[in-house]
Structure 1
Amino acid sequence: MFNASLHSRRIALGLAMALVSAPMLASDAAPSADIVTGRLSGIHDAKTGLNEFKGIPYAAPPIGSLRWKPPQSVVAWKDVRKADRFGPRCMQRPIFSDMVFRSDGMSEDCLYLNVWTPADAPNKKLPVLVYFYGGGFIGGDGSEPRYDGASLAQHGIVTVTVNYRLDVFGFLASPALAAESPEHAAGNYGLLDQHAALEWVKRNIAAFGGDPDQVTIGGESAGSMSVSAQMASPLSKGLIRRAIGESGAMLGNLNPTPLAQTMREGEAFERRVGARSLDQLRAMSAQALLDAAGQKDVPEFRPTIDGYFLPRPPKDIYEAGEQAHIPLLLGANSQEGSYVSLFEGQPPNQANYRAAVQKRFGEHAAEALKLYPGETDADIKTSGTALAGDDFIAFSTWQWMRMHRQTGRAPVYYYYFTQARPSKREGNAGPDAGAVHSGEIEYALGNLSGNAVYAWTTTDRHVSEVMQGYWARFIQTGDPNGPGLPHWPAAANKDGGLLRQVIGTDTHTMIDRNAARYQFLMGVEGTKVL
């Protein structure tokens, strides 16, 4: 059983331990690093000048009796442990076609992280980025090439990617799980994994040349939602100095599910799979549980207000100003959703658009049509795409920006990413119409070359240089501005709108006047739960 006081003592002991880092050699010899639990042997990349440590365990394997338990401490090892290959990805169904994995298979034993660092880093106390992948809390992995840390590490940033539990393994809650918890909490194991990784970074990142007091957390989609939650959690907010959110927050229409509802759904799932006790549930095969979770009539397993990691809804925490008071860089893309999704296979004409808006907003439809007009075919495409994107994830991102500006006592930098991906190298598909959901990742992290699907252009590479330049400067200083970069002011009211940075072919500051859309959605958010 998880013992909170023992866990806290272990953390305190870890923080107090002196970390002795063996020199990481700037040659082709395998670099090594001494961390709290033992010595690691990594990989030196002579081409990039980086040392890479992959598949480092940051928590004990959450298997057997540890399934649906908060992450537990790693058992120390005596011999040198190789950290030269990615660990297994967490259990997940093959839902997302754009996910490419370099992981060592798939397993419940998946709580591993990866570190990229300059070979001459040990004595430099470099800033650190800890990045959480997206995938709707049901997919994703720290080995994906789009999250590769090498490019940012070449900017002098120790870069870390983290695996965390997903789907039924990461977010199942039930009365039995709450009863066995000292905090009477259940669910959110995936978020607790992220927190454990941050604790690991605090204790160990100096061995890789990182400064434990200069940690930025970042993520996209579910990873961005995770960042907003880590900022809100009393467990994590003291472990981070800056935050980056790319499309998504646990606010607005993406609030965590109330615990009572999550536990009802968990009990129903236990009955579905025929488990009469936690012991029986923990004895079931991981694949059988994953298959059952993927059935159409099973509610999604997602974050909940567990009373421990999230003692209250994030909305209440941000309203009270109890989140981490740190600089925040966040934004959304120009095509987070598509107007096509509104029509359910029907022709995208004016009558069907009005019907779709009526179905979505009911008595509020007339007001919605003023904000998202559909009088012409062009209107339908523009307004429908804006509505689909807002309703999906842009509204929650705006709400995070708004609330942290009000109570966060730190600068907020708000972006609008517009660069559409180019044509694919194979096939006849042309470029995207706009910047689709997740389309910014390779640009921001400097990983265009790791994605061979698209025929990247000189313009794309320039946009990536600018965007990654912003991200690197923010991770280093808390301010995205730096030499050679278009000026990016912090979000502030101006001329009836809000200063916001457009990042794309023409990177510049605009005045965003879309607040009325989001205020409308805020007023009717109870009419739809995503």
Structure 2
Amino acid sequence: MLKSAVCVALAAASAALFAADGPTVKTDKGKVQGAVSTDGLIRIFKGIPYAAPPIGLLRWTPPQPAAKWHGTKEATGFGSRCMQLPVYDDMVFRDPGISEDCLTLNVWTPAKDKKAKLPVMVWIYGGGFAGGTTSEPRQDGENLAHKGVIVVSMNYRLGIFGFFVHPELTAESPHHASGNYGLMDQTAALRWVHQNIKNFGGDPNNVTLFGESAGSFSVSAQMASPLAQGLFVRAIGESGGAFSTTLPFGSREEREQSDQEAVGKSLGTTKLADLRAMTSAQIIKAAMPQADGSRVRFGPDVDGYFLPESVPAIYAAGKQAHLPLIAGWNADEGGIPQKTLTVAEFHETAQKDFGDQADKFVSAYGVTTDDEALAAAKDYAGARFIAYSTWKWLDAHVATGGQPVYRYHFELPSPGDKFHTAGTTFHSDDIEYVFGNLDSRQGMVVRPEDRKMSEIMQTYWTNFAKTGDPNGGELPKWPTYNPAGNWQVMHLAIPPEARPDTQRARYEFLQQAWQKAGQ
């Protein structure tokens, strides 16, 4: 008994000693104490509240200021991930679990004091606005911070908790808006960075916003929103933009009706007071698969406040943030549809999807052989899923953004892992390369070329964060993407190489055809 008590006392003393040795930084709400990386070069702060818990009457409201605290808050563990259902098998979490009390962020900084004025990279995770969190090992910021940047990541509300649209919410809003609470969470985190990052050694006037998939959609939307103007000066989008024909941001009016119908069917009431009185476990049932296998999607809308107009309309009018942009996508975004495909079968797809424009579609894709048909089908699948929306974002910003734009195509085939087939460059494949976290991927045997590609991408990304230009050192030259330069694309293979875009006709055809169809 005595021995046990001594062990407990020693453990407590050890914990106290470790805490006393942790780096401490003052924020606008109070002091936080973090930890130091194993090599002693990175100071790490996790789970810092950047907004009040969105619970009770704050459910489905814009993020409110976090409360101040007394003393020093421990910041050595990730905060809870926001409410979500299991969405993706390959997501691994290192947090306490799901909770509505989830609006926290993390900081990885190589700065030793607040005089460093290092560039800051703020990351937005993907997951279809339905899943994800900052605690995933693949997007841990420690390795990227070794490149001389501060990395920040935030949790933001997801699914019905982050994007529910309801006429009663619209009526109670001083802006006559509802929805987009998850996007406003992201903006609140950016505002926190602007107010606090100097004390972590960062430069609040040199912030790059970057994200993947839904995170990339979010970056394009943050550029469009008047609420985020001036909070970041550069942007990187990896696979996705808010210009999608398959994942559009619907109007608030449309969503008020569809969201009410969805919750009424699954929860038995549409009254806001009833919905706010329910537990989070009850509310999340609205996002569960229905008996027919369908699943309701709660995503961003054109709410009239965060987004006064649609994202394409804002860019067309040149009202988006005018800042340098890197964006691109992966070679196999749509997966590998099949192993063989004939020209005749490709024509059947064209006829089904484009009717009397089928021949123009086939011509735009340059299909004359079965091998070309298979390659074109793969590219078309990726375009429908996410590549077209990224291309349209790039094109729109080139037209009205007034700042350098850089486009990439990630092409290094994966060696395969627990969840993905070898030989593909699949959706989300780029994350571990950008963060330098290849060893976190389950079942992946990392090759020398993977290490090299990770080094290349980290250097391009952090060069851009530092100067607004990805070029520097011995890296292959990455030209800007514009008509004057023949639409140069950086092909991220081994070795990387910039070449003029040879596939522009495909995307111009899709733009014309889908706009004509009202998509």
Answer yes or no: same fold by TM over 0.5. yes
1:161 pairs with one of 134, 137, 153: 153
- Partner letter of residue 289 of structure 1? I
Q: In the alignment, does 2:372 pair up with 1:379? A: yes
Shift of 1:299: 3.3
Q: 1:55, 1:112 within 8 Å by CA — same for their partners in 2? A: yes
Distance 1:27 1:275, change over 3 A: closer
CA distance in 2, matches of 1:121, 1:529: 54
Cα deviation, residue 360, structure 1: 2.3
* Whole-angstrom CA distance in 2 between matches of 1:85 and 1:527: 51
TM-score by length of 2: 0.91
Match in the other structure for 1:443: 433
1:317 to 311, 314, 319: 314
Q: Is this contact kept in 2: 1:121–1:210, CA < 8 A?
A: no
Number of positions where the alignment pairs a residue of Structure 1 with one of Structure 2: 498
Matched residue SS, 1:288: helix
**Per-residue deviation at 1:407?**
0.9
Pick the aligned partner of 1:393 from 367, 386, 391: 386
Deviation at 1:126, TM superposition (A): 0.6
* 1:281 aligns to 2:269 (yes or no): no
Q: Is the 8 A contact 2:333 2:386 kept in 1?
A: yes
Q: 2:350 aligns with which of 357, 370, 374?
A: 357
State the alpha-carbon separation in 1 of the partners of residues 383 and 481 from structure 2: 19
Q: Which residue of structure 2 lines up, in the alignment, with residue 265 of structure 1? A: 258
What is the RMSD computed on CA atoms of the aligned residues? Answer: 2.2
Displacement of 1:134 after TM fit?
0.6
**Structure 2 counterpart SS, 1:124:** coil
> Does the CA contact (< 8 Å) of 2:156 and 2:182 recur in 1?
yes
Among candidates 284, 293, 297, match of residue 300 of structure 1 = 297
Aligned-partner SS, 1:340:
coil
Pick from 151, 171, 182 the counterpart of residue 163 of structure 2: 171
Equivalent-residue separation in structure 1 for 2:367 and 2:359 (angstroms):
11
Superimposed CA distance per residue, residues 459-488 of structure 1 (whole angstroms, 9 cap, x where no aligned partner):
110011111100010011100011121111
Q: Contact 2:32–2:75 at 8 Å: present in 1 too?
A: yes
Q: Answer whether contact 1:256 1:305 (CA < 8 A) is retained.
A: yes
Q: Which amino acid aligns with 1:188?
A: N
- C-alpha deviation, 1:353, in angstroms: 3.4
| One-letter amino acid of the counterpart of residue 267, structure 1 | Q
Question: Is residue 508 of structure 2 the alignment partner of residue 508 of structure 1?
Answer: no
Unaligned runs of 5+ in 2: 1-17
Classify the secondary structure of the residue corresponding to 2:82. coil
Distance change (3 Å), C-alpha of 1:103 and 1:357: farther
| In structure 2, distance between residues paired with 1:166 and 1:371 | 38
8 Å Cα contact 1:178/1:185 also seen in 2: yes
| Corresponding residue to 1:406 among 383, 399, 403 | 399
Distance 1:467 1:396 in 2: 22
* Partner residue, 2:205: 213
The CA deviation string for residues 266-296 of structure 1, in whole angstroms up to 9 with x for no partner, is: 1112321112421100112222222221224
Q: Which residue of 1 aligns with 2:3?
A: none
One-letter identity of the residue aligned with 2:231? L
SS of the equivalent of 1:509 reads: strand
Sort the Cα spacing of 1:145 and 1:321 in 2 relative to 1 into closer, same or farther, 3 A.
Answer: same
Long gaps (5+) in structure 1: 1-25
Between stretches 513-522 and 109-118, larger displacement belongs to 513-522
The one-letter code sitting in structure 2 at the alignment partner of 1:215 is V
Q: 1:423 aligns with which of 416, 426, 430?
A: 416
Calculate the TM-score normalised by the size of structure 1: 0.90
Residue 252 of structure 1: how far off its partner (Å): 4.4
CA–CA distance in 1 between the matches of 2:316 and 2:474? 37
Which among 213, 220, 225 is matched to residue 233 of structure 1? 225
